[in-house]
A and B are shown apart, each in its own frame.
Chain A
Amino acid sequence: DTGVSQNPRHKITKRGQNVTFRCDPISEHNRLYWYRQTLGQGPEFLTYFQNEAQLEKSRLLSDRFSAERPKGSFSTLEIQRTEQGDSAMYLCASSLQGWDTEAFFGQGTRLTVV
């Protein structure tokens, strides 16, 4: 396993369209996180899964955002009716269960809404 994989790497979409991103975590990791990062800022938490259960969602995650992790493996993040303010880097991370474990991030998906 070569690490956390995210697809696509880049996505350009027109305002109002729906987009979906995919994250494949490191295979034995049961925790999966989604973060959003805008230029010059640190990543901000969006949501977190333990296995297939979505345990926490940020208030940043409006009703237009939905995330799933069927069967506790890969995860998808969907944004409906995209807005220009959604333009950002979307990062996925995974880790093993436990407070002393290291988190590993993917290369991110860069979304541009025009």
Chain B
Amino acid sequence: KQEVTQIPAALSVPEGENLVLNCSFTDSAIYNLQWFRQDPGKGLTSLLLIQSSQREQTSGRLNASLDKSSGRSTLYIAASQPGDSATYLCAVLYNFNKFYFGSGTKLNVKP
């Protein structure tokens, strides 16, 4: 059974700090992995997509890495801002049909 785990479940940091969110998955035979942001009561906003053949992707202050052999991905956020406060979800695509999601990491960046 494919399982996706995100640690920590919640994180509170002061503004300006660099931080790392973790995502682990049990089956390494993935097609791709996608990181999303979700604001309270809202839908999901795509942040980064990493294909199975890639090691990392960058977008602005965000950098996502992928290590298939160890079943791990990390999302690095540089110079965090209060506007980064949200829940961050990772989703793993094992076949064409569906993503498996972690439960998310709720991030609070304090001014």
Give residues in A with beta carbon < 8 Å to B.
4, 6, 31, 33, 35, 40-45, 48, 50, 55-56, 58, 89, 91, 93, 97, 99-100, 102-108, 110
Q: B95: shortest Cβ distance to chain A, in Å?
A: 8
Give residues in B with beta carbon < 8 Å to A.
4, 6, 31-32, 34, 36, 41-46, 49, 51-52, 89, 91, 93, 96-104
The distance in angstroms between the C-alpha atoms of A11 and B79, with both chains bound, is: 39
CB within 8 Å for A99 and B31 given contacts A56-B97, A105-B36, A105-B44: yes
B46 and A102 within 8 A (CB): yes
The distance in angstroms between the C-alpha atoms of A44 and B44, with both chains bound, is: 13
Q: B85: shortest Cβ distance to chain A, in Å?
A: 16
A105 and B102 within 8 A (CB): no
The distance in angstroms between the C-alpha atoms of A40 and B91, with both chains bound, is: 15
A41 and B32 within 8 A (CB): no
Q: B36: shortest Cβ distance to chain A, in Å?
A: 7
